[in-house]
Structure 1
Amino acid sequence: MPVKIFICAFLRTIAYLWLFSGVVLASAALFSLPRPADIAIVLGNTVYADGSPSPRLAARLEKAYQCYEQRQCKLVLVSGGIDASGTDEALAMHAYLVRRGIPSDNIVVDRAGNDTWSTARNASAFMRNRGLSSALVVTQYFHIPRAMFALKRFGVREVSGAYPVFWEVRDLYSIVREVPALIWYGIRPL
């Protein structure tokens, strides 16, 4: 019986630490301040079949537009993959920002940004080729620490984050998911 009690206490402690770590990560991002950068990197999300961004993605794009309009960045890199139905996230993001008034020449399209790791790898390669050294990553608040960490792992020295004021119930799951994802990004080979 004492072994069963010990195992339950141990598992409960792990769960509390996991939840606490997720809250700490999300809080760190909430209190981080975006800094002016050479490029803003917008991570993709759901795009509907008609090419319109989901509310979550539209909020990210609006935040990127604000950063560009306020001259916090000179370029905007939109990164996303192509879903099973053939919808291209990055092209839809590009079209959205062009409609908002950002010149097409100031928007870089990464159509191979299927996940945060791929986006960080592709964005850092683009930055190296262009001699850019600072990035402003635009995503949800809970995702900023991992996205920034991934960019730093790929050699981007100066990274800050910006997030839209947007919340959904699924953020609770996402906050918890960020803990093991961040650990994986710390040990994942480049």
Structure 2
Amino acid sequence: MKSRIRLWSALFLGLVFLGIISLPVSDAIVKNAARDSLYDDASQTPHRKVGLLLGTSKFVGKQINLFYQYRLEAAALLYKNQKIDFVLVTGDNSTVYYDEPTTMKNDLVKLGIPADHIVLDYAGFRTLDSVVRASKVFGQEAFTVISQKFHNERAVYLAQARGLDAIGFNAQDVGGYGGMKVLLREQFARLAAILDVKVLNTQPKFLGEKIPIGEK
């Protein structure tokens, strides 16, 4: 019995060790993939027909979520600088009580983007889903991802793994405890992204009929 416990303990510690070693490796892989595809200056960002705005919740508790606010401001900046023609808003609408895309659309309109230049993807449950659906459902093989830099790096990595021509426009980062917590979680998300691509061949939860953007 004791030998079996020692065996399981050794296996568990071995898996923990491999996980710890894998985090910096996956981080480096993702950063390297996106290194030449990210932009901070709207004036230097290449034009793409569609900007893929990655969703998040509007509030953290009773406070505005700065990740949300800065992403919407980045999308509006690109649109006003004529660097994108449409915004594809992708987010979670898994229940009738939680609808990220519609909330984001309403706030984008307030920032000056016409409603008919905003397209909603209600099935962007994960970054992988959002990226793949931009191609498979909305017909975009080249697009600009809009989120914070850490998120753009992972989205661009996932897009490149699918043969898509994605660049990223970096929204303002968020500091403080909230920002640190998200960055820590991102390390595990990067490892999961690599496993999705290299091992699991993970597919979006939903695909569906084609929804072309900007085609009459």
Q: TM-score, normalised by structure 1?
A: 0.77
Native 8 Å contact 2:54 2:130 kept in 1: yes
State the match for 2:82 in structure 1. Answer: 71
Shift of 1:110: 0.7
Q: For 1:17 and 1:181, how far apart are their aligned partners in 2?
A: 10
Q: Write the mapping of 1:103-114 to structure 2, written as runs, cut at 5 A.
A: 103-114=114-125
Shift of 1:38: 1.4
Shift of 1:100: 0.5
Q: Which has the larger radius of gyration?
A: 2
Specify the code of the residue in structure 2 equivalent to 1:120. Answer: V
State the match for 2:171 in structure 1. Answer: 164
Native 8 Å contact 2:37 2:166 kept in 1: no
SS at match of 2:156: helix
**Closer, same or farther in 2 for the Cα pair 1:174/1:36, shift >3 Å?**
farther
Shift of 1:19: 2.9
State the match for 2:154 in structure 1. Answer: 146
CA-to-aligned-CA distance 1:14-39 (integer Å, 9 cap, x gap): 63552354266458757743432111
Question: Which runs of at least 4 in structure 1 moved beyond 6 Å after TM superposition?
Answer: 7-11
Unaligned runs of 5+ in 1: 1-6
SS at match of 2:171: coil
Specify the code of the residue in structure 2 equivalent to 1:164. Answer: A
Q: For 1:57 and 1:152, how far apart are their aligned partners in 2?
A: 25
Q: For 2:89 and 2:105, how far apart are their aligned partners in 1?
A: 7
Specify the code of the residue in structure 2 equivalent to 1:96. Answer: D
Specify the code of the residue in structure 1 equivalent to 2:50. Answer: I
Q: For 2:147 and 2:58, how far apart are their aligned partners in 1?
A: 15
**Closer, same or farther in 2 for the Cα pair 1:181/1:107, shift >3 Å?**
same
Native 8 Å contact 2:26 2:194 kept in 1: no
Name which of 71, 74, 81 aligns with 1:60.
71
Q: TM-score, normalised by structure 2?
A: 0.69
CA-to-aligned-CA distance 1:99-148 (integer Å, 9 cap, x gap): 101011111111111111221232113442xxx44200112212223212
State the match for 1:101 in structure 2. Answer: 112
**Closer, same or farther in 2 for the Cα pair 1:146/1:81, shift >3 Å?**
same
Native 8 Å contact 1:124 1:151 kept in 2: no
Q: Which moved more, 1:146-155 or 1:74-83?
A: 146-155
Unaligned runs of 5+ in 2: 1-11, 40-45, 204-216
CA-to-aligned-CA distance 1:140-183 (integer Å, 9 cap, x gap): 21222321233344453x21011212221113313311331221
Q: For 1:54 and 1:92, how far apart are their aligned partners in 2?
A: 13
Count of aligned residue pairs for this structure pair: 181
Indicate the structure with greater strand content: 2
Q: Write the mapping of 1:107-126 to structure 2, written as runs, cut at 5 A.
A: 107-126=118-137
Q: For 2:98 and 2:18, how far apart are their aligned partners in 1?
A: 43
